Structure 1
Amino acid sequence: MKTGILCRFALLCCVMLSGGCSLLKVSVSEGDPLPRAEVRMRVMTRGFYHDLTAAVARTADSIADAAPDLRTRIGAVRWKMQVSSAAVGAAMQPIPEVALADTWILCRRMEEAFAAAPDSLLFGDLTPQARRTVRSLSERAGALARDVLSRDRYALMREFVDAYAAAHPITGDGAETPNTTLAWLTFLESRGADHTFASGSIAEVIADLGDRVDGRSRQLAETVGWSKDILEMRMEQDSTRSQLLRQIDSLDRNFRRMAAVMEHIPEISTFVAETFGERVGELIEAMDASVNHAFVQLDRQRDELQRYVSAERGELMRDVDRAAADTVRAALDGLPALVGKIVGWLVLLVVVVLGLPFAAGFWLGGLRERVRRRRAEERGE
C-alpha cells in the first residue's frame, strides 16, 4: 500500500513539473523609466523655457519698436537671440535637475546683469521694461523649482544657484550659461546627497531627443529671421543713403535755380549746364559708392550667418550622435543580463524536460523490479 502511494505521488510530481514548463517566458527589457517626479520636472522646465523665450521676445520687440536710435533696436534683437540660444541649451539638458538648475541660473544671471549695468549700456530709457521682465522670470524660475522639488532638494538647489552665481562674475548681458552638470553633481556629493544617472526607457530617450532636436531647429529658424531683421535695420539707416538723399536734394535745388536763371539770362545757360553735369557726375558716383557699400555689407552678413548656421548644425548633429550612442549603450548594457536569463531558463528547461522524467522512470523501474522479485520469492516459498 505504501508502494502504491509513493508511485502516485511521484507521478503527480512529474505531471506538475512538466506542466510548469509552459510558464517559461522570454521578455526583452526596455530600460527603467524615469521616476514620475523627474518626468514632471522635465515637462515643467521645458514649458517654462517656452514662456521665457516668448516673454523676452515680446519685451525685445516692444523696445525695438519704441527705440529712437539704431543701436538700441539692434541691441534688443541681439538680446532675444542670445537668450533664445542660451535657454534652449539650458532647458534641453538630458538630466531634469541639471536642466532646471541651468534655467534658473540663466534667469538669475540676466537679472543681476540688468540690475548692475547702467541704462546707457542697455536700452536707454526703455531699460526698465527689460529689468521688469528678467526680474519676473527669475522669480518664476525659483517658484518652479519650489513646486517640482521636495523641500530638502529645493534648499540644496537654491544654495547651489546662489553659490554658482556668486562664484562666476557676470559679463555682458548675462545671457551666456555654461553647462553645470559636473558642478551640480560635485555639489550634491559634497553635501552627502544622492543623485541618479538614469536616462529613462527607450521611448523616453527617443521623446527627449525629439524635443531637443525640435527646440534647436525652432531656435535656429528664429535666429535666422532675427539676423535678417538686423540686416534690414542697418540698411535702412546706412549713411550712404543719407548722403544720396542730400545729393538729390542739392540737385533739385540747383535745377530749380538753373531754370529760373535761364528764363531771365539765356547767356549763362552753358555755365549752368556744365554745373548740372558735374552734379550729375557726383550723384552717379555717390550712387555707385552706395551700391558697392551695400553689397559689401550684405556679403559680410551672409558670411556671418553662414558661419552661425554651420556651428548650430554641427552642435545639433553632435547632440543627435550623443543621444544615439547613449541609447545603444543602454541596450548593450542590458544584453548580458538578458542572455544570462535565457541560458538559465534553458538549463532549467533541460533539467525539467529530460532529467526529472528520466530520474522518475529509473526510480519507478527499480521499485517495480524489487516488487517483482519480492513476489517471486514469496511464491518460491
Structure 2
Amino acid sequence: MKTKIIASLLLITLLSSCSLLKFQPQFGTEALSKQDLNTRMAVRSYYKSFTGQVIQAADSIVATTEEPSIKAEAIKWKGAATSACARTAFQSDAEIALVDTWLLAKQMDVYLQASGSVHFGELSQIAEACANELVNEIQQTAKRSNDKKHYEELLSFVETYPLTSELYEWQFSKFDTRPLLIEHLQIPDSLYTSTIGTGAEVMNDFTDRMSVYNEQIQSQLAWEKDLILLTLENDSLAEPYLARIDSLSQMLNRLAIVAQESPEMMGIIAVRMREELTPVLHDFNTGMRTSIYELSQERQHLQKYLDEQRVLLRDDIQQSGKVLIEETTDNLIRFIRRISWLIVFVVIVLVGVIFGLPFTLGYLLAKARFKPRLTNKKDE
C-alpha cells in the first residue's frame, strides 16, 4: 500500500516538473541563412561607400566650377542618387537589395556616360569616374557574397535587364526585379524567400532603416537649402539690379547739385527720375516673382520627397508588423500541433490522478481500518 502511494506522488511530481509541459512559444521566425546575412551586411556597407563617393564627387564639382547651373545639377545629383540607393539597399530581401542596388549603380553610370554628361560640362569626367568605380565595386561585392555559379546567374540578369539611359530631373527608376529574377533563376516563387529573420533580426533591420531615413532627410533638407541660396545668389539676376542702383545713385548726386544751383531744373530731373525708376521697379517685381516661383518649386520638390519617405516608412512598418504577426501565429499553431498528443496524455493522466487517487486512498484506508475487525471475528 505504501509503495503505491509513494509511486503516485512521484508520478505527479515528475509530470508537474517536466520541461515538455512548459508552454514556451518562440515568437521569432527562422533565422536568416549565413548567405543572406552576409549579403545584407555587404550591401549596406556598399551603401555607405556609394553615398560617400557621390557626395565627394558632387562637392568637388561645386567647389571647382563657378557656373550656378552646374553647381545646382551637382547638388541635385547627390540628393537623388543617395536617396535612391537608400531605397534599394535597405530592403528586407537581401538578394533583391543587392540586385536593385547593382542596377541603380549601372543606370547612373549609363546615364552619365550618355546624355547626363551635359549637366557638368568639362567636369563631367569627375561624375563619370565616380559612377564607373561604383559599378565595379558593387560587382565585386556581389562576387564575394555568392558562389561562382550563382554570381554568374546574377551577373547575367543584371546585364540583360533593360535600363533607360534617359532620366528626368535625376529621377532614377524604381525597380521591381523580384518576379523577373525568380523567373531568371528558375526558382518557384514560394521557395525563393524562406524567412525574413528572427524577431531580433527584424527589429535590427527596422532600426537600421529608421537611422538611414533620418540621416537622408537631414541631408536632403541641407541640400535643398543650398539650392535655394544658390538661386538667390545667381549673378545673372543680381547684375541688372546693381546697374540700375548705380545709375540711380549717380542721378541722386546730380540732383543734389542741381537743386542747389538751379531749382528750375527740378521738373526736368523729376521726369528723368521717373523714367529711371519705372524700369527698376518693373525688374524688381519680375525678379521677385521669379524667385518666389523658384522657391515654390523647390518647396514642392521637398514636400514630394518627404511624402515619398513617409509612405515608404509607413509601408515598411506595416509590412514588417504583418509578417511578424503571421510568422508568430504560424509558429504557435505548429507548436500546439506538435505537442497536442502530449497535452492529451497529460489531461488523461491528470483526470486519472484527480478522480482515481481519492477513491484509491479511500479504499486503502477503509481496508486498513476494517481488516483488524475481520481478523478478530475469524479468530472468534
1:1-381 to structure 2, matched below 5 A, reads 20-21=14-15, 22-23=17-18, 24-30=21-27, 31-117=29-115, 119=117, 121-164=118-161, 167-172=162-167, 175-189=172-186, 195-237=192-234, 239-255=236-252, 268=265, 270-353=267-350
- Equivalent-residue separation in structure 1 for 2:142 and 2:336 (angstroms): 42
SS in 2 for 1:146: helix
Query: How much does 1:341 deviate?
Result: 3.8
SS in 1 for 2:312: helix
- Equivalent-residue separation in structure 2 for 1:133 and 1:303 (angstroms): 29
- Equivalent-residue separation in structure 2 for 1:297 and 1:40 (angstroms): 45
Query: How much does 1:223 deviate?
Result: 1.8
The letter of the residue matching 1:58 is: Q
Structure 2 residue aligned with 1:4: none
Query: How much does 1:132 deviate?
Result: 1.1
- Equivalent-residue separation in structure 1 for 2:299 and 2:131 (angstroms): 32
The letter of the residue matching 2:195 is: A
The letter of the residue matching 2:216 is: Q
Q: Cα RMSD (Å) of the superposition?
A: 3.7
SS in 1 for 2:35: helix
The letter of the residue matching 1:75 is: E
Query: How much does 1:208 deviate?
Result: 1.1
- Equivalent-residue separation in structure 2 for 1:326 and 1:162 (angstroms): 32
Q: Structure 2: which 5+ runs fail to align? A: 364-380
Question: Residues 53 and 84 of structure 1 are in contact (CA less than 8 Å); yes or no, is this contact kept in structure 2?
Answer: yes
Query: How much does 1:133 deviate?
Result: 0.8
- Equivalent-residue separation in structure 1 for 2:159 and 2:188 (angstroms): 15
Question: How many residues are treated as equivalent by the alignment?
Answer: 357
The letter of the residue matching 2:65 is: A
Question: Residues 57 and 126 of structure 2 are in contact (CA less than 8 Å); yes or no, is this contact kept in structure 1?
Answer: yes
Query: How much does 1:137 deviate?
Result: 0.9
The letter of the residue matching 1:229 is: D
- Equivalent-residue separation in structure 1 for 2:244 and 2:114 (angstroms): 45
Question: Residues 109 and 174 of structure 1 are in contact (CA less than 8 Å); yes or no, is this contact kept in structure 2?
Answer: no
The letter of the residue matching 1:105 is: L
In the TM superposition, what whole-angstrom CA distance separates every residue of 1:331-351 from its partner, at most 9, and x where no partner exists?
A: 122221233245432212134
The letter of the residue matching 1:199 is: I
- Equivalent-residue separation in structure 2 for 1:115 and 1:295 (angstroms): 35
Question: Residues 182 and 188 of structure 2 are in contact (CA less than 8 Å); yes or no, is this contact kept in structure 1?
Answer: no
The letter of the residue matching 1:308 is: Y
- Equivalent-residue separation in structure 2 for 1:114 and 1:288 (angstroms): 38
Question: Residues 202 and 327 of structure 1 are in contact (CA less than 8 Å); yes or no, is this contact kept in structure 2?
Answer: yes
In the TM superposition, what whole-angstrom CA distance separates every residue of 1:219-262 from its partner, at most 9, and x where no partner exists?
A: 22222221222122112117543321121122234445566777
Question: Residues 105 and 177 of structure 1 are in contact (CA less than 8 Å); yes or no, is this contact kept in structure 2?
Answer: no
SS in 1 for 2:241: helix
SS in 1 for 2:222: helix
1:330 and 1:85, CA in 2 relative to 1: closer, same or farther beyond 3 A?
A: same
1:304 and 1:97, CA in 2 relative to 1: closer, same or farther beyond 3 A?
A: closer
- Equivalent-residue separation in structure 1 for 2:217 and 2:226 (angstroms): 14
Normalised by the size of structure 2, how large is the TM-score? Answer: 0.80
Normalised by the size of structure 1, how large is the TM-score? Answer: 0.80
- Equivalent-residue separation in structure 2 for 1:109 and 1:314 (angstroms): 24
Query: How much does 1:15 deviate?
Result: 8.2
1:36 and 1:237, CA in 2 relative to 1: closer, same or farther beyond 3 A?
A: same
Greater Cα offset, 331-340 or 295-304: 295-304
Query: How much does 1:182 deviate?
Result: 1.9
In the TM superposition, what whole-angstrom CA distance separates every residue of 1:31-58 from its partner, at most 9, and x where no partner exists?
A: 2111223212111211111110121011
1:225 and 1:179, CA in 2 relative to 1: closer, same or farther beyond 3 A?
A: farther
Query: How much does 1:149 deviate?
Result: 1.4
SS in 1 for 2:203: helix
SS in 2 for 1:28: coil
1:179 and 1:223, CA in 2 relative to 1: closer, same or farther beyond 3 A?
A: farther
- Equivalent-residue separation in structure 2 for 1:45 and 1:190 (angstroms): 22
SS in 1 for 2:192: coil
SS in 2 for 1:73: helix
- Equivalent-residue separation in structure 1 for 2:217 and 2:252 (angstroms): 51
Query: How much does 1:141 deviate?
Result: 0.6
The letter of the residue matching 1:228 is: K
